[in-house]
A and B are shown apart, each in its own frame.
Chain A
Amino acid sequence: MKEQGFFQSKKGKTVIAVVAIALAIIIPLMMDNNIIFTQNKYFYVLLCLIGIYTIVTSGLDILFGYTGQISFGHAGFFCIGAYGSVLLSHTQWGLGKATGYVLTPILSIFIAACIAAAVGALLAIPASKLVFHFLSMLTIAFNQIVYLIANNFSWLTNGSIGITSVPAVTLFGISFATTTSKLKYYYLVLFFVVVFLLVKTHIVNSRVGRGLIAIRENPTAANGCGVNVAKYKIMSFAISAFYVGFAGGLYVHMIGFISPDTFVQNTSVIFITMLLFGGSGNLVGPILGAAVITIIQEGLQFLADYRMLIYGIVLLLIILFQPQGIAGLGNTISGAVSKRKRGAANG
């Protein structure tokens, strides 16, 4: 039976969501006014990163957790969103260099995310016919190609040196420059996190979402039930790429600088690690995964490349012992407890 507890009910979930959003708004504000903790600007950067990676991981979840399609190349979409937005908004590069006109950063992020979605759809046309291991290879190759373009097309991207002075986001006359206030940018990110999560719940609980889940569960039966499997896989890739592309844009306008290094294959592996660690196929898992791995990632800066080794081990342990991720810990624990109870009753 589906669990019927208050927190599993629709009302309960809404209450949790509202409380979580309220806390996400209030706590940083209190910190900014020195009511709790001490003021530490870096903390906001960390919060922004968690928000941005929550969008990434949620987007990846639509593809992996709901549609059952793997991608080891999502850093490629992150790259397209990031470079795309820079090239559309920067006065000295891309559009600005060519025409003298630029787009305002939120619009540039949106359009770059649309480009990422279009590329995702194109990639999905061959990908929709592939099974797991070939899909892994295709997406790795895609990531590599995007990285090489960013690294080698110097006339477009300034190559490995990268592009500085990425313009700040301005909305309705309010500047979200992170040089002046990181708290404001955090609220901007939080706004988009809420929007993207809401859209995700709407999608996965609709006819379209059921089509995606049906493909994950049983592609033959999905086809027999009228789901155009190839089309839905393409749609899933495109939606997923839009999420990740948008997050790439938010990322680059926060950092103010872009270079190809951010978008290497390892970044895709980190995305997958976040998702598997947090737990896929639900709303909360990607948030938890993004938060925990981002904190570990920043906390372990000093380990440099050894971090990938740690992710590898974490991934292995998760896959072996906690396939539902930390979001599923509750289930695992209650399962273990009830098993013990049943054992006691039998014994």
Chain B
Amino acid sequence: MGEKLLEVKDLTINFSGLKAVDTLNFSIDKGEIFGLIGPNGAGKTTTFNMISGALKPTSGEVWLNGQRIDGNYMYQTNKLGIARTYQNINLFRSMTVLENLLVGQHCRLTCGLAPAILRTPRERKEEAAAVEKAKETLEFCGLHEKIDVYSNSLSYGEQRILEIARALVSDPYLIILDEPAAGMNPTEKNSLADLVQRIRAKGVTVLLVEHDMKFVMGITDRICVLNYGKRIALGTPAEVQANPEVIEAYLGGGD
């Protein structure tokens, strides 16, 4: 077992009576590709929201690198090293691909209002470096040819990749991908799987939710299975697939 990057302890959230996530526990090691799966409405996105700071848990804790981060705002969590994508694509639609990646670096850039107004040499240098960094990241993600395209005119699959690039450009420890393969064709899914592997090879830990079982089983090191907000299994893809409770949750359907 490697060093722990993220720890989720007894994480619980109550939506007016509905326990969307219920005393959830898991931890992710540095350099892992970790999957979170479960039927629709199981609480996967809600878990992501609590880890990334979009939602405050009712109880429980989230730790990153030994620092407690639950209850932070998303912008703070981002600065601490977690970047995410969204199940329903959330791009800056009337910005170009490049501009999206510049916003993605917001937490890593330092110039405030005064250097901007005065266009100080430090500000210009920082901006130029940010553009370079954006280009590198786009190249890494295979979107460099679209650098000046408005993000709303990208294809659906490209928009998903752009969200990943925008998250990656902030140099996170942990990248959280919420259904990254949704709406992609098989070719796109293959290159996505390749991209996720290369992201891990860069030293970024990956946490992802995905419905495509072939995709998840092929790419993850370990998987946590949720059902009705509760963890029902945790282990390697092979272990999880053999777990009777998991088979029941997926095949048993609505009761």
**Interface of A toward B, CB cutoff 8 Å:** 1-2, 199, 202-203, 206-211, 213-214, 217-218, 220-229, 235, 239
Contacts of A218 in B (CB 8 A): 90-93
CB distance from B129 to the nearest CB of A (A): 12
Query: Which one, B23-31, B110-118, B188-196, B200-208, is touching chain A?
Result: B110-118
Query: Which one, B62-70, B77-85, B220-228, B235-243, is touching chain A?
Result: B77-85
Nearest CB to that of B113 among chain A residues?
Answer: A208
Per the bound structure, the CA–CA distance linking A51 and B104 in Å amounts to: 36
CB-CB under 8 A for A226 and B106, given A1-B149, A203-B113, A209-B116: yes
Per the bound structure, the CA–CA distance linking A229 and B107 in Å amounts to: 12
CB pair A213 B95 closer than 8 Å = yes
Per the bound structure, the CA–CA distance linking A163 and B78 in Å amounts to: 53
Nearest CB to that of A222 among chain B residues?
Answer: B103
Q: 8 Å CB contacts to A: which residues of B110-155?
A: 111-113, 115-119, 123, 126-127, 130, 148-150
CB pair B78 A225 closer than 8 Å = yes
Contacts of B58 in A (CB 8 A): none
Per the bound structure, the CA–CA distance linking A225 and B92 in Å amounts to: 11
Nearest CB to that of A218 among chain B residues?
Answer: B90
Contacts of A235 in B (CB 8 A): 113
Q: Does B54 contact A (CB under 8 A)?
A: yes
CB pair B148 A220 closer than 8 Å = no
CB pair B116 A207 closer than 8 Å = yes
Contacts of A213 in B (CB 8 A): 92, 95, 103
CB pair A225 B117 closer than 8 Å = no
Per the bound structure, the CA–CA distance linking A220 and B93 in Å amounts to: 13
CB distance from B144 to the nearest CB of A (A): 14
Nearest CB to that of A209 among chain B residues?
Answer: B116
Per the bound structure, the CA–CA distance linking A206 and B110 in Å amounts to: 11
Contacts of A224 in B (CB 8 A): 52, 54, 74-75, 78, 83-84, 86, 90
Q: Does B99 contact A (CB under 8 A)?
A: yes
- Kindly list 18 other residue pairs between chains A and B, CB separation below 8 angstroms, not including A199-B117, A223-B73, A224-B90: A2-B150, A202-B116, A203-B116, A203-B117, A206-B116, A207-B130, A208-B112, A208-B113, A210-B102, A211-B103, A217-B93, A218-B93, A221-B91, A224-B52, A224-B78, A224-B84, A226-B78, A229-B75
CB pair A223 B74 closer than 8 Å = yes
CB distance from B130 to the nearest CB of A (A): 8
Q: Does B109 contact A (CB under 8 A)?
A: yes
Contacts of B73 in A (CB 8 A): 223, 228
CB pair B119 A202 closer than 8 Å = yes
CB pair B95 A207 closer than 8 Å = no
Contacts of A208 in B (CB 8 A): 111-113, 116
Per the bound structure, the CA–CA distance linking A226 and B116 in Å amounts to: 18
Q: Does B40 contact A (CB under 8 A)?
A: no
**Interface of B toward A, CB cutoff 8 Å:** 52, 54, 73-75, 78-79, 83-84, 86, 90-96, 99, 102-104, 106-109, 111-113, 115-119, 123, 126-127, 130, 148-150, 166, 170
Per the bound structure, the CA–CA distance linking A224 and B107 in Å amounts to: 10
A-B contact pairs, 21 of them (CB 8 A): A203-B117, A206-B111, A206-B116, A207-B126, A213-B92, A213-B103, A217-B95, A218-B93, A220-B74, A221-B86, A221-B91, A223-B74, A223-B75, A224-B54, A224-B74, A224-B86, A225-B104, A225-B107, A226-B78, A228-B75, A235-B113
Interface core residue of B83, B91, B109, B170 (most chain A CB under 10 Å)? B109
Contacts of B109 in A (CB 8 A): 207
CB pair B90 A210 closer than 8 Å = no
Per the bound structure, the CA–CA distance linking A211 and B113 in Å amounts to: 11
Per the bound structure, the CA–CA distance linking A206 and B114 in Å amounts to: 11
CB pair B106 A210 closer than 8 Å = yes
Per the bound structure, the CA–CA distance linking A96 and B164 in Å amounts to: 60
Interface core residue of B79, B90, B108 (most chain A CB under 10 Å)? B90
Contacts of B123 in A (CB 8 A): 206
CB distance from B233 to the nearest CB of A (A): 29
Per the bound structure, the CA–CA distance linking A207 and B170 in Å amounts to: 14
Contact partner, B90, options A199, A209, A220, Cβ 8 Å: A220
CB pair B96 A2 closer than 8 Å = yes
Contacts of A228 in B (CB 8 A): 73, 75
4 A-B pairs closest in CB distance: A226-B107, A206-B116, A217-B92, A221-B90
Nearest CB to that of A219 among chain B residues?
Answer: B90
Contacts of B102 in A (CB 8 A): 207, 210
Contacts of B78 in A (CB 8 A): 224-226
CB-CB under 8 A for A225 and B127, given A202-B117, A210-B106, A218-B93: no
CB distance from A134 to the nearest CB of B (A): 21
Interface core residue of A202, A203, A221, A228 (most chain B CB under 10 Å)? A221
Per the bound structure, the CA–CA distance linking A217 and B93 in Å amounts to: 7
CB distance from B235 to the nearest CB of A (A): 30
Per the bound structure, the CA–CA distance linking A208 and B54 in Å amounts to: 22
